[in-house]
Structure 1
Amino acid sequence: MAGGGGNPPPEIHVRVHSRRGFNMIHPVEIESPPPTVAGAAPAANESPNAAMYREVKHFKKWFPWLVPSFVLANVVMFIITMSVNNCPKNSVSCVAGFLGRFSFQPFKENPLLGPSSTALEKMGALDVGKVVHKHQGWRLITCMWLHGGVFHLLANMLSLLVIGIRLEQEFGFVRIGLLYLISGLGGSLLSALFIQSNISVGASGALFGLLGGMLSELITNWTIYANKVAAMVTLVIIIAINLSVGILPHVDNFAHLGGFLSGFLLGFVFLIRPQFGWVYQRYAPGYSLTSAKPKFKTYQCILWILSLILLIVGFTVGLVMLLHGVDLNDHCSWCHYLSCVPTKRWSCNTQPASCQSVQTGNQYTLTCSSNGKSKTYSLLNPTARQIQGLCAQLC
């Protein structure tokens, strides 16, 4: 690419973690407490049944503040990103120009009403090349707090409020906070191993981690739920619908899958509940049992150990492969279909756009390398970012 404004870098496509169609609440209810056992001694002004029910259905103790804080942090980061983007200074045209430096990039460049890919990269978007070759591993975390536009932000944050608040009420901020952050890291890691030509942003890996955690929580605490089959079918259908959205182009389904798998395994570790018999023993010392009940069932302990081992091994192997520059597409010829399935209506080709530039005075003629389209612009000392934005619109 040549031009009087210097050699502009090639356009970088943003692959967002989309959350279209995501509207989920916890579908299960805990069974009512069993009837009072004759001779059972209530603990200090509270019946054993009430104490047991409170122990198992303990989410009423937790006030949800962490999830709303996550939402606030994402909104603040988006505002800061738009300020850094400063469209009037760095682009020829902007959407909603009355917003000044907070105005949006042209629709052809970013249809989500948001910043340029350059601004997102500057703020910490996931760029595999910089993670591998410039040791910027922190991008695996920072990309979770960035969004491609207003529509992307609204979809993710509404989903987080609907799902996250309910889970935080049930399990507390420590476990749900760790589940959210580790799942987001897992989503970023799998995305980086498969999609290495585009930058990636969004909280969807972490959100799918919450969905995965809900599924494993239902499995590991199977005996304490009513309407088990209906709850399982509902949850599986919702997960399947949301994962199927990821086969559309420009949606990073690898982040969804990585987050979901991480959250699914973490659910067995963080969201395990004690069985009814153990809780009843604890709060009803007069209750006679032929043998002492363990706190957790055998299958719960097995799932806990296996999940923890798989998490440690998976994250370790994944990070080692990423830092060695491994592209998993080279070892799995069909895996790319998990993120995009080409049809007659759309193509999965998301190669970065590039243009050839010819300058004649203040006239710049750009020719898109991918589709051959050409257009002449009248520009006075344009910056590299301005030419890059025009190339993105043209291609």
Structure 2
Amino acid sequence: MKGKDSSPEVPITVHGRSGDGRVVAVAEDQAFGEVRPFGRWVPWLVLSFVVANVVMFVVTMYVNDCPRKSGFCIARFLGRFSFQTFKENPLLGPSSDTLYKMGALQVADVVRKHQAWRLFTCIWLHAGVFHVLANMLSLYFIGIRLEQEFGFARIGILYVISGFGGSLLSALFIQSSISVGASGALFGLLGSMLSELITNWTIYANKLATLLTLVVVIIINLAMGILPHVDNFAHLGGFLSGFLLGFVFFVRPQFGWVSQRNALPGYATTSLKQKHTMYQYVLWVVSVILLISGFTVGLVILFRGVNANKYCSWCHYLSCFPTSKWSCKSQLVSCMMNQTGNVLDLTCLSNGKSNVYVLSDDDPSLIQSLCNQLCS
């Protein structure tokens, strides 16, 4: 459901973005428990992010005001903070109309109305109580240790850029529903842990054990994304962004250079040690090039209105893999249309909902998209 009179209703098949904090905790203990810290920071930024996400969810529920707008609500004793019915939102949360008003990712608005800010605002929104709790648990376990090791500035930049990367890839492949959640940014933090291990390979003691733990955690979390109604493209986009950013932000000096620099007078080594190895410089340069080119190409394709699924017939399996237990096919919908000039009156035949839209053009794909969004 959309929030403006001229905008369509979006089905509550909101693509949630979530991780598993309990599994990730094992990886971050392995990854950082063996590395001598080069500095420690008080992790205030990650805690601020957790608070900000929770506050945004509370504000979203306040704006939602289910008793006044819907009538049928769960936990009505909470007043305007009560939840939509499970049929509309099984995650115990607001309506998709409210999520849209608060800044959920809606590709049609990003492309046609130039609302690129939705690529950022959607990472601070969550579809329900279960959604926000899962993501904040993951953020706490992953982010605290990363911020302690590398400081708030690098973690903050990595979090936001990874979230943007997740939203960008999601917008290129999922264009028929809205998407919200912080897990694109969370998977960016997870990806940066892997690249941090690779670029600082020589300073780890149990390299293979740490690498195996991280790889298993990554596979488990990405595998969860093939379930229906989970936006795995946001996970993949965030992970790839964070993986490349880790090579840029998390380069550590080699132990030989540190030992030489801190050696007592008379104990200095005779040969000069380099602060960084050549492969660290190479990874840094390659990652910067891939990040800039990837974001540039992605944004150009997005704002040209390209649906990436047309050029990758198998990519949809990355977000939902059909099994005997569930189907990934979208329910077929149809609408009754009455158009006068540029004013379009649509009525969804499956649920009876109707809305009026002012069109800038008569693109059939746009009309079908409005019908899909109107039918829930």
If the length of structure 2 is used for normalisation, what is the TM-score? Answer: 0.85
Of 119, 143, 146, 1:167 maps to: 146
SS in 2 for 1:198: coil
Task: Give yes or no for contact 1:29–1:226 (8 Å, CA) kept in 2.
Answer: no
**Deviation readout 1:154-194 (Å, 9 max, x if unpaired):** 00001100110011011110111111111000000000000
Give the whole-Å Cα distance in 2 for the aligned partners of 1:281 and 1:20.
41
Q: Establish whether residue 108 from structure 1 lines up as the match of residue 67 from structure 2.
A: no
Of 274, 280, 283, 2:253 maps to: 274
Identity score, percent: 66
SS in 1 for 2:267: coil
Query: Which range is displaced more, 84-93 or 14-23?
Result: 14-23
SS in 1 for 2:179: strand
Larger Rg: 1
If the length of structure 1 is used for normalisation, what is the TM-score? Answer: 0.81
Q: Establish whether residue 250 from structure 1 lines up as the match of residue 229 from structure 2.
A: yes
Q: Establish whether residue 212 from structure 1 lines up as the match of residue 196 from structure 2.
A: no
Distance 1:22-1:258 versus aligned 2 partners, 3 A rule = farther
Match of 2:321 in 1: 341
Q: Report the alpha carbon displacement of residue 7 of structure 1 after superposing the two structures with TM.
A: 10
Match of 2:364 in 1: none
Match of 2:23 in 1: 23
Distance 1:243-1:318 versus aligned 2 partners, 3 A rule = same
Distance 1:256-1:311 versus aligned 2 partners, 3 A rule = same
Q: Establish whether residue 66 from structure 1 lines up as the match of residue 45 from structure 2.
A: yes
Match of 1:98 in 2: 77
Distance 1:8-1:226 versus aligned 2 partners, 3 A rule = closer
Distance 1:230-1:96 versus aligned 2 partners, 3 A rule = same
Distance 1:124-1:22 versus aligned 2 partners, 3 A rule = farther
**Deviation readout 1:219-264 (Å, 9 max, x if unpaired):** 1011111111000001100100000000111000000000000000
**Deviation readout 1:278-334 (Å, 9 max, x if unpaired):** 111211153343431111011111001100110011111111111111111010000
Q: Report the alpha carbon displacement of residue 343 of structure 1 after superposing the two structures with TM.
A: 1.0
**Deviation readout 1:357-379 (Å, 9 max, x if unpaired):** xxxxxxxxx9863xxxx89xxxx
**Deviation readout 1:70-90 (Å, 9 max, x if unpaired):** 000001110111111110111
Distance 1:290-1:21 versus aligned 2 partners, 3 A rule = closer
SS in 2 for 1:23: helix
Q: Report the alpha carbon displacement of residue 10 of structure 1 after superposing the two structures with TM.
A: 4.1
What is the aligned length?
343
Q: Establish whether residue 292 from structure 1 lines up as the match of residue 272 from structure 2.
A: yes
SS in 1 for 2:15: strand
Match of 1:379 in 2: none
Match of 1:40 in 2: none
Distance 1:243-1:340 versus aligned 2 partners, 3 A rule = same
Distance 1:8-1:168 versus aligned 2 partners, 3 A rule = closer
Of 238, 242, 245, 1:263 maps to: 242
Distance 1:260-1:232 versus aligned 2 partners, 3 A rule = same
Task: Give yes or no for contact 1:16–1:147 (8 Å, CA) kept in 2.
Answer: yes
Match of 1:203 in 2: 182
**Deviation readout 1:123-145 (Å, 9 max, x if unpaired):** 00000000000010000000000
Task: Give yes or no for contact 1:217–1:267 (8 Å, CA) kept in 2.
Answer: yes
Query: Which range is displaced more, 281-290 or 257-266?
Result: 281-290
Give the whole-Å Cα distance in 2 for the aligned partners of 1:283 and 1:272.
19
Task: Give yes or no for contact 1:220–1:300 (8 Å, CA) kept in 2.
Answer: yes
Instruction: Name which structure has the greater RCO, CA cutoff 8 Å, separation 6+.
Output: 1
Superposition CA RMSD, Å: 2.7
Match of 2:200 in 1: 221
One-letter identity of the residue aligned with 2:279: Y
Q: Establish whether residue 194 from structure 1 lines up as the match of residue 197 from structure 2.
A: no
Task: Give yes or no for contact 1:186–1:262 (8 Å, CA) kept in 2.
Answer: yes
Task: Give yes or no for contact 1:21–1:242 (8 Å, CA) kept in 2.
Answer: no
Equivalent residue runs for 1:1-150 within 5 Å: 9-12=8-11, 13-20=13-20, 23-25=23-25, 26=28, 27-29=30-32, 57-59=37-39, 61-150=40-129
| Structure 1 residues without counterparts, runs of 5 or longer | 1-5, 33-55, 357-365, 376-381, 385-390
Match of 2:344 in 1: none
Distance 1:231-1:368 versus aligned 2 partners, 3 A rule = farther
Give the whole-Å Cα distance in 2 for the aligned partners of 1:367 and 1:31.
59
SS in 1 for 2:24: coil
Task: Give yes or no for contact 1:30–1:225 (8 Å, CA) kept in 2.
Answer: no
Match of 2:136 in 1: 157
Match of 1:237 in 2: 216
SS in 1 for 2:251: coil
One-letter identity of the residue aligned with 2:15: R
